[in-house]
Structure formats: structure tokens, C-alpha cells
Amino acid sequence: MSTMKRLVVILLFDGVDLLDVTGPPEVFSLVRRELNGSSPAYRVVLAAETPGPVTTAAGVRVLPDTTFEEVAREGIDTLMVPGAVETDGRGRVRAVTDPVVTGWVKTLAERPRRIASMCVGAHVLAAAGLLDGRRATTHWSTARQLAAEHPAVRVDADPIFIRDGEVWTGAGISACLDLSLALVADDFGEALALRVARQLVMYLKRPGGQSQFSVPLEPVSATRRVEELRHHILRHIAQPLTVADLAAHAHLSERQLTRVFTSELGMTPSAYLEAVRVELARRQLESTDATLERIVSVCGFGTTDTLVRAFRRRLDTTPTEYRRRFRAATG
């Protein structure tokens, strides 16, 4: 196993999310401990436009190690780009990009072996033209903005991180730890990344395809009718529910039901049914020894093939692999 020191550069700028700056170095520092080495496997530096302190979104000031200009002359292994947001008076969130930072990302991107964005940092990569033609994710709250402003990017708001070639994009805030662990696994293998996850007391080193959302825990719907339907689905999930069944229960036509679900939950009734079933199956796989056949029955999938296809579609993995990863991370 190679212990060549890799230079990781994390960009700093005013308003940046603090965890996106401090989380990855914690992951990379633990690699040294797990390798029992006297020198770090990674050298992490924070780079900003000037040497002065940067004020993060949390109000904490951080002092950069170097400047963009200085680090541009070094051999960068991994360039990590966090993001920043602004909110209006009604709590709506919008990703913001600084043209100066975007310009430096374009310049610095010519040097690294790989590039990674954390949370809304995907907007910076997109503004720099680095996501054109690629599949990418970001925090769910700004995914529509990313898709609208950069139509050449194939935005997928569901996974916690995505790798497309040597460009990686991560989802909301704490997912920077999952992304960093994935980078470690890419460099040193899955077993070492899992040991680092244990040191971080992370409940599970999650596969990239895992959803950002826990469907039954999503915010309540705007209308009582849809909220009652959501509870009806959970109470009868083991049954072979169909869109027609739900429409009849709600005294709506199927077209009306689809319009209401799409408006309030951002997905069709059939997609919501599948999402709930996958979420419940995930919990079964994580916390029980139930067979796949039992999980199929309890969660209403009908057949094992349907369960497997749903996992591949939503989590980019299989139920067996999902359980294996969970057991490995917590055993």
C-alpha cells in the first residue's frame, strides 16, 4: 500500500460553510493513525485569495495556509471546493458564487489528479465549466437552481455523492465526510476507509448512491389530504398498493392525485411509494437479520427482483451489498 503524501487543497472564501472546510481534514488526518505511519498520507492546505482571515458562514474566522496564486505552482493531488449560500427573508436558500473564486478554480483545475465539490460547491464547479456533460449532485435545496442555471449538467439531487470520471460532487454539508471517506477508499482501499469511519464514530460509511433523504421523515405536506395519504401508505405498505388505490382512497382521479403529489412532494405517487419501500427496506437491512424474502413481504415489493431493481435505481447498489457495507462498518 502506497503512503506517498498527497497534497489536498481546500478553497477558502468569505461565507463558506465551516464543516466543508474542517470536515475533510479530520478524515484525512485519521488515515495516518490507521496506517501507523510516522508521516501523513495527505498534506492538507487551506488556500484563499489573500493571506488574511476568512469569515465562514458560521461566523468563525479561519486563517488560510497559502494563497490561490502560491498553491497554483504546486503539484495538487486533490482540489476540494466548498460552497456558500444566501437566504432571503422567507428562508429560501440560494447558492452564490464569487467570480474571482470561479476564475481561480478554472486555473487550479488544470493541475489536480481529481476535483471534488462539497455541498453547494458544485455551483462553483458548474460556473467554471467543469461539470458540463457530467452527472453531479449538490445540496437538495439548491439542486433546481443548479439545473436551471447550468442545463449542460445532469443534476441528480438524490445521492450523497457522485463520481463522474475524476470529478466528484457531494451533497449537503455532513456528506462532505462521506465524500472524503470515498476519496480515502479510492486511494487506499475500502477496508482502510471503514476503519477511519469507525474512528469518526460514523454510524455507517454510506455508499455514494444512498439518498440524501429519509422519506418517512420528510417535512409534512402542505395539505391534510396528502399528509393523511402518506400515513395511509405507511400503514398499508405491505399491501400491493397502486396509484388507483390511493386515488380511490383520496376521492381523486389518478391525474389529480399525480398533480397534487408532484406539487407537494416533488414526485409522482408511484415514485413516492417506491421511495418509502426502499427506505423501510434499508432500515430492515441495517437493523435486522431478516431475509430478502421477508423484507420483500414486509415492504410490499412483491418480488425480490423488484426490490433489487428499486435499490439499483435509487441507491446504485444491491440490498445484499448495502447490508454487507453496514455490517462491515459497524461490526
Span between the terminal Cα atoms of the chain, in Å: 24
- For residue 201, count CB atoms less than 10 angstroms from its CB and return exposed for 0-12, middle for 13-18, buried for 19 or more: exposed
Give me the amino acid identity at 220.
V
* Per-residue three-class SS string for 100-164: HHHHHHHHHCCCCCEEEECCCHHHHHHHCCCCCCCEECCCHHHHHHHHHHCCCCEECCCECEEEE
Name which of 19, 24, 18 is nearest 60 in CA terms: 18
Give me the amino acid identity at 317.
T
Strands 93-96, 84-87: parallel, antiparallel or unpaired by DSSP? antiparallel
Asked whether 221 and 227 are in contact (CB, 8 A), the reply is yes
Residue for grid cell 478553497: 11
176 included as an active-site residue: no
Element (H, E) at 6: strand 6-11
Compute how many other C-beta atoms are within 10 angstroms of the C-beta atom of residue 218: 14
| CA-based max dimension of the chain | 68
Q: How far apart are CA 278 and CA 1, in angstroms?
A: 37
Q: How far apart are CA 107 and CA 123, in angstroms?
A: 16
Which residue of the set 8, 54, 116, 119 is catalytic?
119
Compute how many other C-beta atoms are within 10 angstroms of the C-beta atom of residue 164: 15
Name which of 296, 218, 211 is nearest 261 in CA terms: 218
SS3 313: helix
Instruction: Cite the active site residues.
Output: 119
